[in-house]
Structure 1
Amino acid sequence: MEVHLVDGTYELFRHFFGAPPHLTADGREVGATRATVGSVLRMLEEGVTHVGVATDHVIESFRNDLWPTYKDGSGIDPALTSQFPLLEEVLEAAGICTMAMVEHEADDALAAMALRAAEDDAVERVVICTPDKDLAQCVGGKVVQMDRRKGTTIDTAGVEEKYGVPPASIPDWLGLVGDSADGFPGLPGWGAKSAAAVLRAFGRIEDIPDDPAHWHVKVRSAGALSATLEERRAEAMLFKRIATLELDAPVPTSVEALRWTGPRDDFAAVAAAIDAPGLAERAEALAASR
Protein backbone atom coordinates (compact mmCIF):
# COMPACT_ATOMS: atom_id res chain seq x y z
CA MET A 1 0.00 0.00 0.00
CA GLU A 2 1.16 3.53 -0.80
CA VAL A 3 -0.02 6.64 1.00
CA HIS A 4 0.03 10.02 -0.73
CA LEU A 5 -0.01 13.20 1.35
CA VAL A 6 -0.70 16.43 -0.52
CA ASP A 7 0.15 19.98 0.52
CA GLY A 8 -3.21 21.57 -0.27
CA THR A 9 -2.06 25.09 0.53
CA TYR A 10 0.85 24.82 -1.89
CA GLU A 11 -1.41 23.34 -4.57
CA LEU A 12 -3.93 26.16 -4.13
CA PHE A 13 -1.19 28.79 -4.53
CA ARG A 14 0.28 26.95 -7.51
CA HIS A 15 -3.02 26.73 -9.33
CA PHE A 16 -4.05 30.27 -8.42
CA PHE A 17 -1.06 31.58 -10.34
CA GLY A 18 -1.02 28.86 -12.97
CA ALA A 19 -4.60 27.88 -13.79
CA PRO A 20 -7.15 30.05 -15.60
CA PRO A 21 -9.27 32.20 -13.24
CA HIS A 22 -12.98 31.44 -13.06
CA LEU A 23 -15.71 33.64 -11.65
CA THR A 24 -19.04 32.13 -10.69
CA ALA A 25 -22.30 33.94 -11.43
CA ASP A 26 -22.25 35.44 -7.93
CA GLY A 27 -18.75 36.81 -8.45
CA ARG A 28 -16.65 34.29 -6.53
CA GLU A 29 -13.20 33.38 -7.85
CA VAL A 30 -12.98 29.58 -7.81
CA GLY A 31 -10.40 28.71 -10.47
CA ALA A 32 -7.66 27.52 -8.11
CA THR A 33 -10.08 25.37 -6.13
CA ARG A 34 -11.41 23.71 -9.26
CA ALA A 35 -7.89 23.00 -10.49
CA THR A 36 -6.63 21.70 -7.14
CA VAL A 37 -9.53 19.30 -6.63
CA GLY A 38 -9.22 18.15 -10.22
CA SER A 39 -5.54 17.48 -9.64
CA VAL A 40 -6.26 15.30 -6.60
CA LEU A 41 -8.93 13.41 -8.54
CA ARG A 42 -6.34 12.81 -11.25
CA MET A 43 -4.13 11.11 -8.67
CA LEU A 44 -7.01 8.79 -7.80
CA GLU A 45 -7.68 8.13 -11.48
CA GLU A 46 -4.03 7.15 -11.85
CA GLY A 47 -4.37 4.49 -9.17
CA VAL A 48 -3.75 6.20 -5.82
CA THR A 49 -5.90 4.56 -3.14
CA HIS A 50 -4.99 6.40 0.06
CA VAL A 51 -4.67 10.17 -0.06
CA GLY A 52 -4.82 12.96 2.49
CA VAL A 53 -4.73 16.69 1.77
CA ALA A 54 -3.39 19.06 4.42
CA THR A 55 -4.60 22.67 4.44
CA ASP A 56 -4.10 25.85 6.43
CA HIS A 57 -7.59 26.55 7.72
CA VAL A 58 -6.06 29.54 9.53
CA ILE A 59 -2.92 31.02 8.00
CA GLU A 60 -1.33 32.08 11.28
CA SER A 61 -0.03 29.41 13.65
CA PHE A 62 1.84 29.11 16.94
CA ARG A 63 5.00 30.10 15.04
CA ASN A 64 3.73 33.66 14.71
CA ASP A 65 4.19 33.95 18.49
CA LEU A 66 7.83 32.92 18.11
CA TRP A 67 8.96 35.36 15.42
CA PRO A 68 7.31 38.68 14.55
CA THR A 69 7.79 38.51 10.78
CA TYR A 70 6.71 34.90 10.37
CA LYS A 71 4.24 34.48 7.50
CA ASP A 72 0.79 35.72 8.48
CA GLY A 73 -1.11 35.92 5.23
CA SER A 74 -0.66 39.64 4.78
CA GLY A 75 -0.31 40.61 1.17
CA ILE A 76 -2.13 37.55 -0.16
CA ASP A 77 -4.65 38.33 -2.88
CA PRO A 78 -8.16 38.21 -1.33
CA ALA A 79 -9.28 36.17 -4.33
CA LEU A 80 -6.83 33.50 -3.17
CA THR A 81 -7.51 33.81 0.56
CA SER A 82 -11.23 33.34 -0.02
CA GLN A 83 -10.54 29.95 -1.56
CA PHE A 84 -8.88 28.45 1.52
CA PRO A 85 -12.20 27.42 3.16
CA LEU A 86 -13.76 26.73 -0.23
CA LEU A 87 -11.06 24.20 -1.07
CA GLU A 88 -11.68 22.34 2.18
CA GLU A 89 -15.42 22.31 1.53
CA VAL A 90 -15.06 20.86 -1.97
CA LEU A 91 -12.39 18.32 -0.99
CA GLU A 92 -14.52 17.01 1.86
CA ALA A 93 -17.56 16.72 -0.39
CA ALA A 94 -15.40 14.79 -2.85
CA GLY A 95 -14.74 12.27 -0.10
CA ILE A 96 -11.06 13.18 0.19
CA CYS A 97 -9.52 13.10 3.66
CA THR A 98 -8.84 16.75 4.51
CA MET A 99 -6.57 17.74 7.39
CA ALA A 100 -7.39 21.39 8.11
CA MET A 101 -4.94 22.99 10.52
CA VAL A 102 -5.67 25.82 12.96
CA GLU A 103 -2.95 25.99 15.65
CA HIS A 104 -0.56 24.02 13.47
CA GLU A 105 0.27 24.34 9.78
CA ALA A 106 -0.37 22.10 6.81
CA ASP A 107 3.31 21.11 6.84
CA ASP A 108 2.96 19.85 10.42
CA ALA A 109 0.00 17.71 9.37
CA LEU A 110 1.99 16.24 6.49
CA ALA A 111 4.87 15.39 8.83
CA ALA A 112 2.63 13.90 11.52
CA MET A 113 0.63 11.81 9.06
CA ALA A 114 3.77 10.65 7.27
CA LEU A 115 5.16 9.37 10.57
CA ARG A 116 1.89 7.62 11.43
CA ALA A 117 1.64 6.02 8.00
CA ALA A 118 5.27 4.88 8.01
CA GLU A 119 4.67 3.09 11.31
CA ASP A 120 1.88 1.03 9.73
CA ASP A 121 3.20 -2.37 8.62
CA ALA A 122 0.73 -2.44 5.72
CA VAL A 123 2.24 0.72 4.21
CA GLU A 124 5.14 0.20 1.83
CA ARG A 125 5.78 3.82 0.84
CA VAL A 126 4.67 7.28 1.95
CA VAL A 127 4.82 10.04 -0.67
CA ILE A 128 4.75 13.63 0.59
CA CYS A 129 3.63 15.73 -2.36
CA THR A 130 5.20 19.18 -2.00
CA PRO A 131 8.48 20.83 -3.01
CA ASP A 132 8.73 22.74 0.29
CA LYS A 133 12.22 22.58 1.79
CA ASP A 134 11.09 21.97 5.36
CA LEU A 135 9.33 18.70 4.45
CA ALA A 136 12.71 17.26 3.45
CA GLN A 137 13.28 16.62 7.17
CA CYS A 138 10.63 13.87 7.00
CA VAL A 139 12.35 11.89 4.24
CA GLY A 140 13.86 8.53 5.10
CA GLY A 141 12.86 4.90 5.39
CA LYS A 142 9.47 4.55 3.72
CA VAL A 143 9.04 8.31 3.25
CA VAL A 144 9.93 10.16 0.04
CA GLN A 145 9.16 13.66 -1.17
CA MET A 146 7.61 14.36 -4.57
CA ASP A 147 7.43 17.55 -6.59
CA ARG A 148 4.34 16.83 -8.68
CA ARG A 149 4.88 19.84 -10.93
CA LYS A 150 8.37 18.70 -11.95
CA GLY A 151 7.59 14.99 -11.70
CA THR A 152 10.58 14.33 -9.44
CA THR A 153 10.89 12.27 -6.27
CA ILE A 154 13.73 12.34 -3.75
CA ASP A 155 14.79 9.93 -1.02
CA THR A 156 17.45 10.39 1.66
CA ALA A 157 20.26 10.44 -0.89
CA GLY A 158 18.30 12.95 -2.94
CA VAL A 159 17.92 15.27 0.04
CA GLU A 160 21.64 15.14 0.71
CA GLU A 161 22.41 15.82 -2.92
CA LYS A 162 19.99 18.75 -3.09
CA TYR A 163 20.70 20.48 0.23
CA GLY A 164 24.09 19.11 1.23
CA VAL A 165 22.83 17.70 4.53
CA PRO A 166 20.84 14.61 5.58
CA PRO A 167 17.11 14.98 6.37
CA ALA A 168 17.68 15.17 10.14
CA SER A 169 19.77 18.34 9.69
CA ILE A 170 17.27 20.22 7.53
CA PRO A 171 15.85 22.22 10.49
CA ASP A 172 19.39 23.19 11.50
CA TRP A 173 20.24 24.13 7.91
CA LEU A 174 17.14 26.31 7.70
CA GLY A 175 17.96 27.78 11.11
CA LEU A 176 21.27 29.03 9.73
CA VAL A 177 20.23 29.87 6.17
CA GLY A 178 16.68 31.08 6.85
CA ASP A 179 13.57 30.67 4.76
CA SER A 180 12.27 33.79 3.03
CA ALA A 181 9.01 32.06 2.11
CA ASP A 182 8.25 31.56 5.79
CA GLY A 183 9.53 34.96 6.89
CA PHE A 184 12.60 34.18 9.01
CA PRO A 185 16.06 35.31 7.90
CA GLY A 186 18.66 32.93 9.29
CA LEU A 187 22.03 34.33 10.33
CA PRO A 188 23.93 37.00 8.37
CA GLY A 189 26.71 35.56 6.22
CA TRP A 190 25.57 31.97 6.53
CA GLY A 191 24.78 30.68 3.05
CA ALA A 192 23.53 27.33 1.84
CA LYS A 193 27.00 25.93 1.11
CA SER A 194 28.72 27.11 4.29
CA ALA A 195 25.85 25.88 6.46
CA ALA A 196 25.85 22.51 4.72
CA ALA A 197 29.61 22.10 5.09
CA VAL A 198 29.57 22.80 8.82
CA LEU A 199 26.46 20.73 9.50
CA ARG A 200 27.87 17.75 7.62
CA ALA A 201 30.61 17.75 10.24
CA PHE A 202 28.50 18.43 13.34
CA GLY A 203 24.90 17.63 12.49
CA ARG A 204 23.22 20.12 14.80
CA ILE A 205 23.57 23.83 15.50
CA GLU A 206 24.06 23.16 19.20
CA ASP A 207 27.03 20.89 18.44
CA ILE A 208 28.97 23.41 16.34
CA PRO A 209 32.01 24.58 18.38
CA ASP A 210 32.41 28.29 19.03
CA ASP A 211 36.09 28.15 18.00
CA PRO A 212 36.41 27.68 14.22
CA ALA A 213 39.78 26.03 14.82
CA HIS A 214 37.80 23.02 15.98
CA TRP A 215 35.58 22.88 12.88
CA HIS A 216 38.04 20.89 10.75
CA VAL A 217 36.07 21.74 7.61
CA LYS A 218 36.94 24.01 4.73
CA VAL A 219 34.55 26.94 4.70
CA ARG A 220 35.13 30.48 3.54
CA SER A 221 35.22 33.21 6.22
CA ALA A 222 35.05 30.68 9.04
CA GLY A 223 36.11 33.29 11.59
CA ALA A 224 33.30 35.66 10.68
CA LEU A 225 30.75 32.85 10.56
CA SER A 226 31.77 31.52 13.96
CA ALA A 227 31.64 35.02 15.47
CA THR A 228 28.13 35.51 14.12
CA LEU A 229 27.03 32.12 15.42
CA GLU A 230 28.56 32.73 18.85
CA GLU A 231 26.77 36.06 19.09
CA ARG A 232 23.42 34.87 17.70
CA ARG A 233 23.27 31.18 18.50
CA ALA A 234 20.04 31.63 20.45
CA GLU A 235 18.48 33.21 17.39
CA ALA A 236 19.64 30.33 15.21
CA MET A 237 18.12 27.88 17.67
CA LEU A 238 14.85 29.80 17.52
CA PHE A 239 14.83 29.59 13.72
CA LYS A 240 15.56 25.87 14.00
CA ARG A 241 12.59 25.54 16.34
CA ILE A 242 10.40 27.36 13.81
CA ALA A 243 11.62 25.09 11.00
CA THR A 244 11.08 21.89 12.98
CA LEU A 245 7.77 20.29 12.08
CA GLU A 246 5.41 19.27 14.85
CA LEU A 247 4.66 15.57 14.89
CA ASP A 248 1.74 15.93 17.30
CA ALA A 249 -0.44 17.86 14.85
CA PRO A 250 -4.04 16.57 14.84
CA VAL A 251 -4.31 13.99 12.05
CA PRO A 252 -6.28 10.75 11.61
CA THR A 253 -5.24 7.93 13.89
CA SER A 254 -5.59 5.32 11.16
CA VAL A 255 -4.23 5.14 7.64
CA GLU A 256 -7.59 3.70 6.59
CA ALA A 257 -9.08 7.16 7.08
CA LEU A 258 -7.16 8.13 3.94
CA ARG A 259 -8.68 5.41 1.76
CA TRP A 260 -10.87 7.04 -0.89
CA THR A 261 -14.21 5.27 -1.19
CA GLY A 262 -16.13 7.81 -3.28
CA PRO A 263 -17.73 11.25 -3.02
CA ARG A 264 -20.45 12.31 -0.62
CA ASP A 265 -24.00 12.39 -1.88
CA ASP A 266 -23.92 16.19 -2.09
CA PHE A 267 -20.76 16.43 -4.19
CA ALA A 268 -22.68 17.02 -7.41
CA ALA A 269 -24.36 20.06 -5.86
CA VAL A 270 -21.10 21.35 -4.38
CA ALA A 271 -19.32 20.93 -7.72
CA ALA A 272 -22.16 22.64 -9.57
CA ALA A 273 -21.86 25.62 -7.23
CA ILE A 274 -18.33 26.25 -8.51
CA ASP A 275 -19.33 25.58 -12.13
CA ALA A 276 -17.47 22.28 -12.18
CA PRO A 277 -20.02 19.49 -12.75
CA GLY A 278 -17.27 17.54 -14.47
CA LEU A 279 -15.55 17.00 -11.12
CA ALA A 280 -18.60 15.16 -9.80
CA GLU A 281 -18.91 13.13 -12.99
CA ARG A 282 -15.27 12.06 -12.73
CA ALA A 283 -15.59 11.14 -9.05
CA GLU A 284 -18.77 9.15 -9.60
CA ALA A 285 -17.28 7.27 -12.54
CA LEU A 286 -14.15 6.49 -10.58
CA ALA A 287 -16.10 5.26 -7.56
CA ALA A 288 -18.20 3.01 -9.80
CA SER A 289 -15.06 1.46 -11.28
CA ARG A 290 -13.53 0.49 -7.94
Structure 2
Amino acid sequence: MSSLLALLHDKAEAVTHLAVAFDNPIRSFRNTLFAGYKSDEGVPPELHAQFDLAEEAVRALGVTAWSMKDHEADDALATAAARWAAQVEQVRLLTPDKDLGQCVRGRHVVQVDRRQEKELDEEAVRAKLGVPPASVPDLLALVGDEADGIPGLTGFGEKGAATLLTAYGHLEAIPAEAADWKVRPRGAERLAATLREHREEALLYRRLATLVTDAPLKESLAALAWKGVPRGPFEALCNRLGVTSLKSRPKRWADPASL
Protein backbone atom coordinates (compact mmCIF):
# COMPACT_ATOMS: atom_id res chain seq x y z
CA MET A 1 0.00 0.00 0.00
CA SER A 2 2.86 2.34 0.75
CA SER A 3 4.23 2.32 -2.80
CA LEU A 4 0.79 2.80 -4.33
CA LEU A 5 0.09 5.70 -1.97
CA ALA A 6 3.37 7.26 -3.09
CA LEU A 7 2.21 7.00 -6.70
CA LEU A 8 -1.18 8.50 -5.93
CA HIS A 9 0.48 11.44 -4.18
CA ASP A 10 3.19 11.95 -6.82
CA LYS A 11 2.53 15.38 -8.33
CA ALA A 12 4.70 14.52 -11.33
CA GLU A 13 2.41 11.60 -12.19
CA ALA A 14 -0.75 13.68 -11.65
CA VAL A 15 -2.91 10.57 -11.55
CA THR A 16 -6.50 11.06 -12.71
CA HIS A 17 -7.57 7.53 -13.67
CA LEU A 18 -5.97 4.35 -12.41
CA ALA A 19 -6.29 0.57 -12.29
CA VAL A 20 -3.98 -2.19 -11.09
CA ALA A 21 -4.02 -5.57 -12.86
CA PHE A 22 -3.20 -8.91 -11.24
CA ASP A 23 -2.42 -12.41 -12.50
CA ASN A 24 -4.65 -14.31 -10.10
CA PRO A 25 -4.21 -17.19 -10.72
CA ILE A 26 -0.96 -17.21 -12.70
CA ARG A 27 -2.59 -19.12 -15.55
CA SER A 28 -4.26 -18.04 -18.78
CA PHE A 29 -5.40 -19.24 -22.20
CA ARG A 30 -1.72 -19.31 -23.19
CA ASN A 31 -1.15 -22.36 -21.00
CA THR A 32 -3.46 -24.35 -23.28
CA LEU A 33 -1.37 -23.27 -26.28
CA PHE A 34 2.02 -24.10 -24.79
CA ALA A 35 2.70 -26.35 -21.80
CA GLY A 36 5.90 -24.53 -20.89
CA TYR A 37 4.24 -21.16 -20.44
CA LYS A 38 4.42 -19.59 -16.98
CA SER A 39 1.91 -20.84 -14.43
CA ASP A 40 1.25 -20.95 -10.71
CA GLU A 41 2.49 -24.53 -10.44
CA GLY A 42 4.66 -24.80 -7.35
CA VAL A 43 3.56 -21.48 -5.88
CA PRO A 44 3.14 -21.96 -2.10
CA PRO A 45 -0.43 -21.51 -0.76
CA GLU A 46 0.73 -18.77 1.61
CA LEU A 47 1.99 -16.77 -1.37
CA HIS A 48 -1.34 -17.25 -3.16
CA ALA A 49 -3.01 -15.72 -0.12
CA GLN A 50 -0.83 -12.65 -0.55
CA PHE A 51 -2.21 -12.16 -4.07
CA ASP A 52 -5.75 -11.85 -2.69
CA LEU A 53 -4.55 -9.51 0.04
CA ALA A 54 -2.78 -7.30 -2.50
CA GLU A 55 -6.01 -6.92 -4.47
CA GLU A 56 -7.89 -6.05 -1.29
CA ALA A 57 -5.28 -3.41 -0.42
CA VAL A 58 -5.60 -1.81 -3.86
CA ARG A 59 -9.38 -1.57 -3.54
CA ALA A 60 -9.02 -0.15 -0.02
CA LEU A 61 -7.14 2.76 -1.59
CA GLY A 62 -10.07 3.48 -3.88
CA VAL A 63 -8.31 2.03 -6.92
CA THR A 64 -9.85 -0.43 -9.39
CA ALA A 65 -8.25 -3.89 -9.26
CA TRP A 66 -8.47 -6.17 -12.28
CA SER A 67 -8.16 -9.80 -11.19
CA MET A 68 -7.50 -11.63 -14.45
CA LYS A 69 -8.61 -15.24 -14.75
CA ASP A 70 -8.28 -16.46 -18.36
CA HIS A 71 -6.13 -13.54 -19.46
CA GLU A 72 -3.05 -11.98 -17.90
CA ALA A 73 -2.50 -8.69 -16.14
CA ASP A 74 -0.53 -7.49 -19.17
CA ASP A 75 -3.56 -8.22 -21.38
CA ALA A 76 -5.63 -5.96 -19.14
CA LEU A 77 -3.09 -3.14 -19.50
CA ALA A 78 -2.91 -3.60 -23.27
CA THR A 79 -6.71 -3.58 -23.51
CA ALA A 80 -6.99 -0.44 -21.41
CA ALA A 81 -4.38 1.35 -23.53
CA ALA A 82 -6.11 0.39 -26.78
CA ARG A 83 -9.60 1.14 -25.51
CA TRP A 84 -9.08 4.51 -23.87
CA ALA A 85 -5.95 6.11 -25.38
CA ALA A 86 -8.03 8.36 -27.64
CA GLN A 87 -9.98 9.68 -24.65
CA VAL A 88 -7.12 10.77 -22.40
CA GLU A 89 -4.08 13.02 -22.55
CA GLN A 90 -1.65 10.15 -21.99
CA VAL A 91 -1.67 6.47 -21.00
CA ARG A 92 1.15 5.48 -18.66
CA LEU A 93 1.89 1.76 -18.28
CA LEU A 94 3.76 1.38 -15.00
CA THR A 95 5.67 -1.84 -15.60
CA PRO A 96 9.18 -2.71 -16.80
CA ASP A 97 8.01 -5.87 -18.63
CA LYS A 98 9.45 -5.98 -22.14
CA ASP A 99 6.26 -7.30 -23.71
CA LEU A 100 4.39 -4.09 -22.81
CA GLY A 101 6.70 -2.28 -25.21
CA GLN A 102 4.37 -3.42 -28.00
CA CYS A 103 1.67 -1.10 -26.63
CA VAL A 104 3.73 2.09 -26.77
CA ARG A 105 2.54 4.69 -29.29
CA GLY A 106 4.63 7.82 -29.80
CA ARG A 107 4.48 9.76 -26.56
CA HIS A 108 0.76 9.18 -26.13
CA VAL A 109 1.08 5.66 -24.69
CA VAL A 110 4.31 5.26 -22.75
CA GLN A 111 5.89 2.65 -20.49
CA VAL A 112 7.23 3.71 -17.10
CA ASP A 113 9.74 1.98 -14.84
CA ARG A 114 9.37 3.91 -11.59
CA ARG A 115 12.10 1.95 -9.83
CA GLN A 116 14.72 3.00 -12.39
CA GLU A 117 13.00 6.33 -13.05
CA LYS A 118 12.76 5.65 -16.78
CA GLU A 119 10.00 6.54 -19.22
CA LEU A 120 9.90 4.78 -22.57
CA ASP A 121 8.21 6.41 -25.53
CA GLU A 122 8.31 4.86 -29.00
CA GLU A 123 11.84 6.04 -29.74
CA ALA A 124 13.06 4.77 -26.36
CA VAL A 125 11.55 1.34 -27.05
CA ARG A 126 13.48 1.25 -30.33
CA ALA A 127 16.67 2.24 -28.53
CA LYS A 128 16.20 -0.36 -25.78
CA LEU A 129 15.02 -3.36 -27.80
CA GLY A 130 16.30 -2.52 -31.27
CA VAL A 131 12.85 -2.79 -32.88
CA PRO A 132 9.70 -0.66 -33.06
CA PRO A 133 6.76 -1.54 -30.78
CA ALA A 134 4.92 -3.43 -33.53
CA SER A 135 7.83 -5.90 -33.81
CA VAL A 136 8.23 -6.59 -30.08
CA PRO A 137 6.20 -9.86 -30.17
CA ASP A 138 8.31 -11.06 -33.11
CA LEU A 139 11.49 -10.21 -31.22
CA LEU A 140 10.37 -12.13 -28.13
CA ALA A 141 9.39 -15.08 -30.32
CA LEU A 142 12.96 -15.30 -31.61
CA VAL A 143 15.00 -14.49 -28.50
CA GLY A 144 12.53 -15.79 -25.91
CA ASP A 145 11.17 -14.30 -22.71
CA GLU A 146 12.34 -16.22 -19.65
CA ALA A 147 9.89 -14.46 -17.33
CA ASP A 148 6.94 -15.81 -19.34
CA GLY A 149 8.39 -19.21 -20.19
CA ILE A 150 8.86 -18.48 -23.91
CA PRO A 151 12.02 -20.34 -24.98
CA GLY A 152 12.69 -18.59 -28.30
CA LEU A 153 14.78 -20.17 -31.07
CA THR A 154 18.28 -21.50 -30.43
CA GLY A 155 21.01 -19.20 -31.68
CA PHE A 156 18.96 -16.03 -31.92
CA GLY A 157 20.32 -13.19 -29.81
CA GLU A 158 18.76 -9.76 -29.46
CA LYS A 159 21.18 -8.10 -31.89
CA GLY A 160 20.72 -10.56 -34.74
CA ALA A 161 16.95 -10.79 -34.25
CA ALA A 162 16.63 -7.00 -34.10
CA THR A 163 18.67 -6.63 -37.29
CA LEU A 164 16.32 -8.97 -39.15
CA LEU A 165 13.16 -7.42 -37.75
CA THR A 166 14.33 -3.88 -38.45
CA ALA A 167 14.69 -4.95 -42.07
CA TYR A 168 11.55 -7.06 -42.37
CA GLY A 169 9.20 -6.10 -39.54
CA HIS A 170 7.62 -9.48 -38.91
CA LEU A 171 8.52 -13.17 -39.03
CA GLU A 172 6.48 -13.92 -42.17
CA ALA A 173 8.40 -11.34 -44.17
CA ILE A 174 11.84 -12.86 -43.49
CA PRO A 175 12.95 -14.85 -46.58
CA ALA A 176 13.60 -18.53 -46.00
CA GLU A 177 17.10 -18.41 -47.48
CA ALA A 178 19.86 -16.27 -45.98
CA ALA A 179 21.10 -15.57 -49.52
CA ASP A 180 17.91 -13.56 -50.05
CA TRP A 181 18.30 -11.46 -46.91
CA LYS A 182 19.05 -7.78 -47.38
CA VAL A 183 20.91 -7.74 -44.05
CA ARG A 184 23.62 -10.11 -42.82
CA PRO A 185 23.55 -10.74 -39.08
CA ARG A 186 26.30 -12.94 -37.69
CA GLY A 187 25.67 -16.61 -38.44
CA ALA A 188 23.04 -15.77 -41.06
CA GLU A 189 23.04 -19.21 -42.70
CA ARG A 190 22.60 -20.95 -39.36
CA LEU A 191 19.85 -18.56 -38.29
CA ALA A 192 18.01 -19.03 -41.57
CA ALA A 193 18.18 -22.82 -41.18
CA THR A 194 16.86 -22.59 -37.62
CA LEU A 195 14.00 -20.34 -38.70
CA ARG A 196 13.09 -22.64 -41.60
CA GLU A 197 13.04 -25.67 -39.34
CA HIS A 198 11.22 -24.03 -36.44
CA ARG A 199 9.00 -21.46 -38.14
CA GLU A 200 5.80 -22.92 -36.66
CA GLU A 201 7.26 -22.76 -33.15
CA ALA A 202 8.31 -19.16 -33.77
CA LEU A 203 4.78 -18.24 -34.85
CA LEU A 204 3.40 -19.93 -31.73
CA TYR A 205 5.85 -18.06 -29.51
CA ARG A 206 4.82 -14.80 -31.16
CA ARG A 207 1.19 -15.57 -30.38
CA LEU A 208 2.15 -16.15 -26.76
CA ALA A 209 4.00 -12.82 -26.68
CA THR A 210 1.22 -10.85 -28.39
CA LEU A 211 -0.94 -9.09 -25.84
CA VAL A 212 -4.71 -9.20 -26.15
CA THR A 213 -6.43 -5.85 -26.66
CA ASP A 214 -9.99 -7.04 -26.09
CA ALA A 215 -9.75 -8.62 -22.64
CA PRO A 216 -13.01 -8.51 -20.64
CA LEU A 217 -12.77 -5.31 -18.60
CA LYS A 218 -16.23 -4.34 -17.37
CA GLU A 219 -15.37 -0.87 -16.08
CA SER A 220 -15.83 2.33 -18.06
CA LEU A 221 -13.12 4.97 -18.21
CA ALA A 222 -15.17 7.11 -15.82
CA ALA A 223 -15.16 4.27 -13.28
CA LEU A 224 -11.35 4.41 -13.18
CA ALA A 225 -11.30 8.02 -11.97
CA TRP A 226 -9.51 8.12 -8.63
CA LYS A 227 -11.61 10.06 -6.10
CA GLY A 228 -9.39 9.61 -3.09
CA VAL A 229 -8.91 6.98 -0.38
CA PRO A 230 -12.17 5.70 1.17
CA ARG A 231 -11.47 6.27 4.86
CA GLY A 232 -13.59 3.47 6.31
CA PRO A 233 -12.28 0.52 4.26
CA PHE A 234 -8.71 1.82 4.35
CA GLU A 235 -8.55 2.31 8.11
CA ALA A 236 -10.28 -1.03 8.72
CA LEU A 237 -7.67 -2.83 6.63
CA CYS A 238 -4.81 -0.99 8.35
CA ASN A 239 -6.18 -2.01 11.74
CA ARG A 240 -6.60 -5.62 10.65
CA LEU A 241 -3.06 -5.84 9.30
CA GLY A 242 -1.51 -4.00 12.23
CA VAL A 243 -0.11 -1.18 10.09
CA THR A 244 -1.87 1.67 11.85
CA SER A 245 0.97 4.07 11.00
CA LEU A 246 -0.33 4.07 7.42
CA LYS A 247 -3.62 5.63 8.49
CA SER A 248 -2.04 9.08 8.52
CA ARG A 249 -0.49 8.73 5.06
CA PRO A 250 -3.39 9.53 2.70
CA LYS A 251 -3.47 13.17 1.60
CA ARG A 252 -6.79 12.92 -0.18
CA TRP A 253 -9.83 11.24 1.27
CA ALA A 254 -12.79 10.25 -0.87
CA ASP A 255 -16.09 12.01 -0.33
CA PRO A 256 -18.41 9.28 1.01
CA ALA A 257 -21.16 10.64 -1.23
CA SER A 258 -19.05 9.86 -4.31
CA LEU A 259 -18.59 6.18 -3.46
TM-score normalised per structure 2: 0.91
The Cα offsets for residues 125-153 of structure 1, whole Å up to 9 and x where unpaired, read as 11100100000000113101011110000
Equivalent residues of 2:229, 2:254 under 8 A apart: no
Residue 94 of structure 2 corresponds to: 129
Q: How does 1:158-169 map to 2 (within 5 A)?
A: 158-169=124-135
The Cα offsets for residues 225-272 of structure 1, whole Å up to 9 and x where unpaired, read as 111111110000000000000011122553222211123332211121
Match of 1:157 among 123, 143, 161: 123
Residue 4 of structure 1 corresponds to: none
Residue 187 of structure 1 corresponds to: 153
Amino acid at match of 1:178: G
Q: Structure 1 vs Structure 2: percent identity of aligned residues?
A: 49
Equivalent residues of 1:144, 1:153 under 8 A apart: yes
Amino acid at match of 2:214: D
Instruction: Please give the secondary structure, in 2, of the residue aligned with 1:119.
Output: helix
Q: Structure 1: which 5+ runs fail to align?
A: 1-36
Question: What is the root-mean-square deviation of aligned Cα atoms in Å?
Answer: 1.6
Residue 90 of structure 1 corresponds to: 57
- Mark the CA change 1:288 to 1:251 in structure 2 (over 3 Å): closer, same or farther: closer
Residue 143 of structure 2 corresponds to: 177
Amino acid at match of 1:216: K
Give me the whole-angstrom Cα distance separating, in 2, the residues matched to 1:104 and 1:212: 37
Residue 67 of structure 2 corresponds to: 100
Residue 72 of structure 1 corresponds to: 39
> Post-superposition shift, 1:288?
6.7
Give me the whole-angstrom Cα distance separating, in 2, the residues matched to 1:95 and 1:252: 17
Residue 238 of structure 2 corresponds to: 271
> Post-superposition shift, 1:79?
4.0
Residue 44 of structure 1 corresponds to: 8
Give me the whole-angstrom Cα distance separating, in 1, the residues matched to 2:247 and 2:166: 50
Equivalent residues of 2:229, 2:252 under 8 A apart: no
Q: How does 1:208-219 map to 2 (within 5 A)?
A: 208-219=174-185
Instruction: Please give the secondary structure, in 2, of the residue aligned with 1:286.
Output: coil
- Structure 1 stretch displaced more, 251-260 or 210-219: 251-260
Amino acid at match of 2:122: T
Equivalent residues of 1:177, 1:187 under 8 A apart: yes
Amino acid at match of 1:62: F
TM-score normalised per structure 1: 0.82
> Post-superposition shift, 1:286?
1.6
Aligned length: 250
Equivalent residues of 2:95, 2:113 under 8 A apart: yes
Q: Structure 2: which 5+ runs fail to align?
A: none
Equivalent residues of 2:104, 2:133 under 8 A apart: yes
